[in-house]
Structure formats: structure tokens, C-alpha cells
């Protein structure tokens, strides 16, 4: 199972329609969104080694945070609907 996972994982990060360099920056943003400490270390190194600057990497983290923050905020609609359903 592990062999299959790592073979797939390795394939995902190869140069293809997106470059390995672009994929590294996406991985860095996702690592922050899922708050995976190991992934953050791994893709901070990988993205920097692949030539992304600190400001570009920080912008990627902001994008991840904006999506997470936005997603949290729009769940406020669910909250309001629930309150509406039980309130007089």
C-alpha cells in the first residue's frame, strides 16, 4: 500500500501540465491550510530550493488563509439559518 502511495505521490509532483516548481508552491499553501507541520517544513524547503522568494511563499500562505478564512465566514450563513429556524 505504502509503495503504491509513494509512487502516486512522486508522480503527482513531476513536471507535467504544471511544473514541479509550481506544484511545490501549491503544496506549501495546502500544507498551511491543513496545518501539517511536517508538510510545512518539507515544502518551505522545497519551494525555497525551487526558487520561490519568501514574499512569494508568504503570498501563497495568504491565499490559503483567505480561502480558509472565507470558508469559515460563509459558514455564518449556516449559523444564521439554524438560529432562524429555532428562534421566535
Partner 1 sequence: MKSLKALQHALADAGHQIDILEHEKDLPLFTGKMKQAGLLPLLPTQPEIFQVNVGKMCNQVCKHCHVDAGPDRKEIMTKTTMQLCLDVLANNPSFKTVDLTGGAPEMNPDFRWFVSEIKKLKRHIIVRCNLTIILANKKYHDLPDFFKQHEIEVVSSLPFYTQDRTDRQRGNGVFEDSIKALQMLNAVGYGMEGTGLLLNLVYNPAGAFLPPSQIALEKEYKDALLERYNIQFNQLYVITNMPISRYLDYLLVSGNYSSYMEKLIQAFNPVAAANVMCRNTISVGWDGYLYDCDFNQMLDLKIGCSGSDHLSNYSSSAISEREIILNQHCYGCTAGSGSSCGGAVA
41 binds partner 1 (CB under 8 A): no
Question: Which of 7, 34, 35, 49 contacts partner 1 by CB under 8 A?
Answer: 49
- The set of residues, in sequence order, having a beta carbon less than 8 Å from that of 39 and lying 6+ positions away, is 27, 30, 31
16 binds partner 1 (CB under 8 A): no
Distance CA 50, CA 46 (A): 6
| Smallest separation, CB 40 to partner 1 (Å) | 16
Query: How many residues appear in the chain?
Result: 88
| Smallest separation, CB 50 to partner 1 (Å) | 6
CB nearer partner 1, residue 35 or residue 45 = 45
- Residue 24 contacts residue 46 (beta carbons within 8 Å): yes
| Smallest separation, CB 24 to partner 1 (Å) | 10
Distance CA 28, CA 41 (A): 9
Where along the sequence are the contacts to partner 1 (CB under 8 A)?
15, 19-21, 45, 48-51, 53
Amino acid at each position: 500500500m505504502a509503495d503504491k502511495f509513494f509512487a502516486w505521490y512522486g508522480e503527482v509532483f513531476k513536471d507535467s501540465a504544471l511544473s514541479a516548481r509550481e506544484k511545490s508552491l501549491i503544496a506549501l499553501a495546502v500544507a498551511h491550510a491543513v496545518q501539517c507541520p511536517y508538510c510545512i517544513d518539507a515544502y518551505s524547503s522545497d519551494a525555497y530550493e525551487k526558487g520561490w522568494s519568501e514574499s512569494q511563499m508568504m503570498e501563497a500562505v495568504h491565499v490559503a488563509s483567505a480561502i480558509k478564512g472565507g470558508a469559515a465566514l460563509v459558514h455564518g450563513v449556516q449559523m444564521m439559518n439554524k438560529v432562524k429556524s429555532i428562534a421566535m
